[in-house]
């Protein structure tokens, strides 16, 4: 099994520099632009994209 977790680079930069309010503001501004589909058939596993910008995707390795 392979697991991936990620966040938008700009949002991560805010977090890594302690700019929590800027992070929250940007998340709320961007969340309507993120895909709402939580399943990707080519990935062949669950993909979860939350409104806070976090991503979790898992699939079985061959």
Successive 10-residue mean pLDDT values, the chain, 62 residues: 70 91 88 64 75 76 70
Count CA within 13 A, CB hemisphere, residue 1. Answer: 6
pTM of the predicted model, to two decimals?
Answer: 0.54
* Measured torsion, CA atoms of residues 33, 42, 56, 36, in degrees rounded to the nearest 10: 30
| Calpha distance 29→16 (Å, rounded) | 19
The pLDDT assigned to 34 comes to 66
Paired with 54 in beta bridges are 7
Contact 37, 50 (CB under 8 A): no
The pLDDT assigned to 40 comes to 64
The pLDDT assigned to 13 comes to 92
| Calpha distance 38→14 (Å, rounded) | 25
């Amino acid at each position: 099994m392979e697991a991936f977790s990620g966040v938008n680079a700009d949002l991560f930069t805010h977090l890594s520099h302690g700019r929590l309010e800027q992070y929250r503001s940007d998340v709320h501004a961007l969340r309507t632009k993120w895909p709402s589909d939580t399943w990707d058939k080519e990935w062949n596993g669950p993909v979860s994209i939350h409104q806070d910008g976090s991503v979790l995707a898992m699939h079985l390795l061959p």
